[in-house]
Structure 1
Amino acid sequence: MDKTRPTSPFGKPMLILAWLSLLGLLYLYFDDKLEQQFNPNQQPDAVGSELVLQQNQRGHYVVSGQLNQMPVTLMLDTGATTTSIPAHLAESLGLQAGAPFPVSTANGTVTVYRTQIETLKIGALTLYNLDASLNPGQHDDTILLGMNALRHLELVQRGQTLTIRK
């Protein structure tokens, strides 16, 4: 007596679809967790004109903001003289590449292009008409917020938090 069950032609494809769905959901879950670790300030805490940022796992202050009314990720970089924007973001942020000039970075000298930021918003803080550079050597989407922007702000670091006031 043969005790094999008849198999449905949909059984194997449905099993594969279920596994792919599970893998997709796991990817989305862990991708969000990794983004939270890199940028714990996706919705920064604002108290009036103060902004309180949390340090990420690597000790950096990363925050979500807006550049020319477009959402961006900013990393505060007190070692950068000028705000540095990855060149591949220029078009989507409405930025024009101006005159080229050399800059010294941790990775050596690179040629960047002058540009102008109309508005930069972080929480309740807004800065206007900032010089910046478009850097073809930056391959991620994180904008390095340099001292030309940070000098307009008061920064107070205590423990793993940074309070910013205009």
Structure 2
Amino acid sequence: MANNGDSTRKTGRLMWLLVWILALLLLTWFFQQKLEQDYYPNRQLQQLNSHTLVLEQNHQGHYLLDGAINGRPIVLLLDTGATQMAVPQPVAARLELPVGRKLALHTAAGQVTGYRTHIKVLSLGPLTLYDLDAIIMPSQGDEVLLGMNALRQFELTQRGSRLTIKYVTDEP
């Protein structure tokens, strides 16, 4: 009889251990999802119409959105302080972007060497831009900086933590 009671207690302890492990896994998953949503709130892009997007600021004050260069997926970081688009070297290699002329660049981190490149097609959700110059930067980030050579084709309006991006066309 005592042996049967020990077996039941061991099974009970094992079940409680499994419940706690499952609870910790679920909490870890939940908070990971929350952190990702705080960093990247625009996974589900808000589209007002065929020419207008609305972006939410992340907890760092940045605007990120999914895009594509030459049909291949990327993450874009809007940077109104950048003259041109800047593609991190590992991303440029993954996208097989052409490496052009070497450039000496002056950045906030000091002088670095970059390379010119050309982007045939840039997609920002439903919006598409063509024939953009860009710079391949020696950084290790994952986000492509969307500079003013692309952003000048949009009307940007910020209200609070929202940024409305409207593609400006010559059409009525």
Q: TM-score, normalised by structure 1?
A: 0.83
Distance 1:17 1:92 in 2: 42
The CA deviation string for residues 63-87 of structure 1, in whole angstroms up to 9 with x for no partner, is 1111211221111101111111110
Superposition pairs of residues 18-97 of structure 1, within 5 angstroms: 26-48=27-49, 49-97=51-99
How big is the shift at 1:51? 0.6
Distance 1:57 1:65 in 2: 20
- List alignment gaps of at least 5 residues for structure 2: 9-14, 168-172
Counterpart of 1:113 (choices 106, 112, 115) is: 115
Distance 1:2 1:17 in 2: 23
Distance 1:54 1:140 in 2: 21
Percentage identity across paired residues of the two chains: 47
SS for the counterpart of 1:92 is helix
SS for the counterpart of 2:153 is coil
Aligned residue in 2 for 1:156: 157
Aligned residue in 1 for 2:127: 125
Aligned residue in 2 for 1:135: 137
The size of the alignment, in residue pairs, is 165
Q: TM-score, normalised by structure 2?
A: 0.80
Task: Say if 1:17 and 1:118 are closer, same or farther in 2 by CA, change over 3 A.
Answer: farther
Task: Say if 1:119 and 1:57 are closer, same or farther in 2 by CA, change over 3 A.
Answer: same
- Whether the 8 Å CA contact 1:68–1:94 is kept in 2: the answer is no
Aligned residue in 2 for 1:100: 102
- List alignment gaps of at least 5 residues for structure 1: 8-13
Distance 2:56 2:24 in 1: 31
How big is the shift at 1:20? 7.2
Task: Say if 1:91 and 1:23 are closer, same or farther in 2 by CA, change over 3 A.
Answer: farther
- Whether the 8 Å CA contact 1:84–1:135 is kept in 2: the answer is yes
Q: Structure 1 or 2: larger helix share?
A: 2
